Amino acid sequence: MTPEKLGKIKEYQRDYEKRFNEKLEIDWFTMKNLPKPIPTLDELFKISVQEHGASETLIRGKKRLHSKELKKERAAVSNFCKKVVHYHLDFADAAKHINRDRTLVYYYGFKKV
């Protein structure tokens, strides 16, 4: 990126901040055509658990997630598996991360709603 282009971007940011009283966020990864960093399995799992308000110990401890009381945990596992498929991560490692067989990752990861 040339200094002239960078100067124009900074000028647009200042104008935006004056008009709307908030900072204009720029995604520099897409501006420079860089790939976004891929999150780790642990980060994906924590994000999925936080999104659904589930319990990590129940997900890793229980062998079956089919009862009505475990609806949050089942949704968190489903979300985690879909993210594993989306980011092309290793299914076997993902299954070990949630203390399950990798067929569960296949089942939830490729499940169409």
pLDDT (tens digit per residue) in 35-80: 778 899 999 999 999 999 998 888 888 777 788 888 999 999 999 9
Sequence ranges of the domains in the chain = 1-35, 41-109
Tell me how many degrees the CA angle 28-29-30 measures, rounded to the nearest 5.
Answer: 90
Nearest in space to 81 (alpha carbons), one of 58, 59, 53, 55: 59
**23 Cβ neighbours under 8 A, 6+ residues apart:** 13, 16, 17
> Which pLDDT belongs to residue 112?
75
* pLDDT, tens only, 86-108: 988 999 999 998 888 888 888 88
The answer to whether the predicted template modeling score (pTM) of the entire model surpasses 0.85 is no
